[in-house]
Structure 1
Amino acid sequence: MRKIHIVLILAATAAVTGVACKKVISVDLNNAAPQLVIEGEVTNVRGPFPVRISKSVPFGASNDYPPVTNADVYITDSTNGIVDHLSQANSDPGVYLARGTVGVAGHTYVLSVTVDGKQYRAVSTMPKAIFLDSVTFALNFDFNNKQEIDAVVNFQDPPGPGNYYQFTEMVNGRNIPNVFVFEDRLSDGRYIEQPLFNDSAYLQKNDTLLLTMNCVDKNIYNYFFTLANVTGNNNFQTATPANPNTNITGGALGYFSAHTTQKVEVAVY
């Protein structure tokens, strides 16, 4: 049995600033049997929408997840009854494409996957889109008192609790592995100016940042929140580093998300 020590960064989701503490835990890492991993999404932009199906690998192995090519995959829009039978992408084994699904805010989508006679299911409701006004930048200091540049997302949270957000960053065409999530439990109806705290190595002046804001449902927020806590927002993370809370039933790992999405590209200053 191997053990790895992980530093958890537990951030309070306040409207403007976050309060963080550090906690060290020990995670036992066994050579567990491979499990099915499902990652899928439906968004409010034009498809096709991908569902990636693979098998997990033991800790210490490469992150080359074996694709699953014999799955039977459906996405049903339960709001209008439209059923989409997904076809596998010709050039990407294990990726199934929803070509007949249209993402509409307020609609509920059901993913059904059958592999080797076993069924898996996930449900996700697409929230309404919330407009990202702008992306600005702030200078902060990390735990080693080293200066870092952090992106700040600026938007109006609508009245009424239960709005959940997920953010991703791509710098100069390279994905940043950190997980950023935010909920409005402590900031309902306020104007949000939320820093996305980063490592000092990631953002430099004159870099090109492509920031994505997804409005997600509660289950997907919980998935990425537990993912961020388990990994401490570091490079250990994959789709399922330590089994974060999934919305997929049947024993598979991963997630299925119906969400609205918006992208902003800006030069770092």
Structure 2
Amino acid sequence: MNRILNKKYFFLIFLTAMTASACKKVITVNLKDAAPQIVIEGNITNEARPYIVTIAKSVDFTQDNVYPPVTGATVTIKDDSTGITDMLSELPNGVYSSNATKGDIGHTYHLTVIANGKTYTAASTMPAQVLLDSITFQTNAAFGNSVTNALPNFQDPSGVYNAYQFVQSINGKLSKQLYVFDDRLSDGRYISRQLFNDSAYIQKGDTIQLEMQCLDKPVYSYFKELAGLDPTNGQPTSPANPISNINNGALGYFSAHTVQIKKAVFK
């Protein structure tokens, strides 16, 4: 799944959530003119490698929806636990692919990008995986209509901070909303939480796919702030970007997270 920039809107992101399908999500945040900035997006998961880091330049919102890739960068990922430093291979269009990195729970990964004479670094620790038990459905009355939402069901571990993101697809089409929350008010509880839809309503016979991601706290904070900037989430927008966990003024994020995918049919 990719969340990408929309024409005449300045926002950062090419989010690759490492799902099986190549979905695209558009987030529109109305911002003023701004100088181009580097946009770095990297994901490491507990799924099979290789892992991808994408580097591009943002554009002014008055320009066409074309985001120049950053080529010729030096990109490395170091695993603190193994001491292995992986030099990523450059592919076309500002994409860099890992060679030796293996995504493991509990490992901390350090990303270093050297591009256009500047160095950008970030770190992310892959948290323990919380297992998604099942997907159920709840139908609510809304404005004289019936609206059905999916509910992920899972046990939150007690006494440990956990943060979650859910990526939802309905019949293979990516939902617009960002679903992120932590266990601040639900530590140790069994969680069944509705994923409210905007316009992608669930109908009988629809196949729902949920990708459950367990995030570390800095990455959760990034996506929580991003959700607040996303008008499809019913939140007011503001002329700002979410705070990245990548330093030196880069936009984007670097995330080591777990992934689990389940499907269910609404009958």
Counterpart secondary structure, 2:59:
coil
Question: Alpha carbons of 1:136 and 1:219: their partners in 2 closer, same or farther (altered >3 Å)?
Answer: same
Q: Residues 152 and 61 (structure 1 numbering): CA distance in 2 closer, same or farther, change over 3 Å? A: farther
Residue number in structure 2 paired with 1:35: 37
Aligned equivalents of 1:141, 1:177: Cα separation in 2? 21
User: Which is strand-richer, 1 or 2?
Assistant: 1
- RMSD (Å), alpha carbons: 2.2
C-alpha separation between the residues in 2 aligned to 1:138 and 1:98?
41
Q: Which residue of 2 aligns with 1:7?
A: none
C-alpha deviation, 1:63, in angstroms = 3.8
What is the one-letter code of the residue matched to 2:130? I
What is the aligned partner in structure 1 of residue 218 from structure 2? Answer: 219
Deviation, 1:88, is 1.7
Q: Deviations over 1:59-101 (max 9, x none)?
A: 2544432211121100100121111000122xx4111111211
One-letter code of the match for 2:256? A
* 1:58 Cα deviation after fit: 2.1
Of 237, 242, 245, the residue aligned with 2:243 is: 245
Deviation of the 1:201 alpha carbon: 3.0
Q: What CA distance in whole angstroms lies between the structure 2 residues aligned with 1:222 and 1:191? A: 23
Deviates more, 1:176-185 or 1:103-112: 176-185
The answer to whether the 8 A contact 1:176-1:202 is kept is no
The equivalent residue for 2:72 is 70
Q: Please say if residues 149 and 200 of structure 1, whose CA atoms lie closer than 8 Å, have aligned partners that are also in contact.
A: no
Aligned pairs (5 A) from 1:1-269: 29-89=31-91, 92-141=92-141, 146-233=145-232, 242-269=240-267
**How far off its partner does 1:165 sit?**
0.5
Please say if residues 38 and 52 of structure 1, whose CA atoms lie closer than 8 Å, have aligned partners that are also in contact. yes
Q: Provide closer, same or farther for how the CA distance between residues 235 and 42 of structure 1 changes in structure 2, counting only shifts above 3 A.
A: farther
* Percentage identity across paired residues of the two chains: 51
TM-score scaled by length of structure 1: 0.82
1:234-260 residue CA offsets vs partner (Å, 9 max, x unmatched): 599xxxx84112101011101000011
Report the CA distance shift for 1:252/1:189 in structure 2 as closer, same or farther (over 3 A): same
Cα–Cα, structure 1 residues 39 and 235, in superposed 2: closer, same or farther, change >3 Å?
farther
What amino acid is aligned across from residue 199 of structure 1 in structure 2?
Answer: D
SS of equivalent to 2:221:
helix
| 3-state SS in 2 of match to 1:196 | coil
Kept after mapping to 1: 8 A contact 2:135/2:150: yes
**How far apart, CA to CA, are the structure 2 residues paired with 1:145 and 1:108?**
50
Structure 2 portions without partners, runs of 5+: 1-8, 10-28
User: Contact (CA 8 Å) 1:161, 1:185: kept in 2 or not?
Assistant: no
Distance apart, 1:173 and its partner CA = 2.1
**Conservation of the 8 A alpha-carbon contact between 2:175 and 2:197:** no
Q: Check 1:97–1:141 CA distance in 2 against 1; reply closer, same or farther (3 A cut).
A: farther
CA–CA distance in 1 between the matches of 2:69 and 2:144? 43
Q: Distance in 1 between matches of 2:159 and 2:191?
A: 14
Instruction: Tell me which residue corresponds to 1:22.
Output: none
Task: Provide the C-alpha distance between the structure 2 equivalents of 1:268 and 1:61, rounded to a whole number of angstroms.
Answer: 42
**Which amino acid in the other structure matches residue 139 of structure 2?**
L
Alpha-carbon spacing, 1:209–1:166, altered in 2? closer, same or farther (3 Å): same
SS in 2 for 1:206: coil
Task: Tell me by how many angstroms 1:179 deviates.
Answer: 0.6
After superposition, the C-alpha distances for 1:33-67 in whole angstroms (9 at most, x for unaligned) are: 11111111100111100111111122254443221
Residues 75 and 111 of structure 2 are in contact (CA less than 8 Å); yes or no, is this contact kept in structure 1?
A: yes
Tell me the secondary structure at the aligned position of residue 262 of structure 2: strand
Unmatched tracts of structure 1, length 5 or more: 5-26
Between the aligned partners of 1:115 and 1:35, the Cα distance in structure 2 is: 12
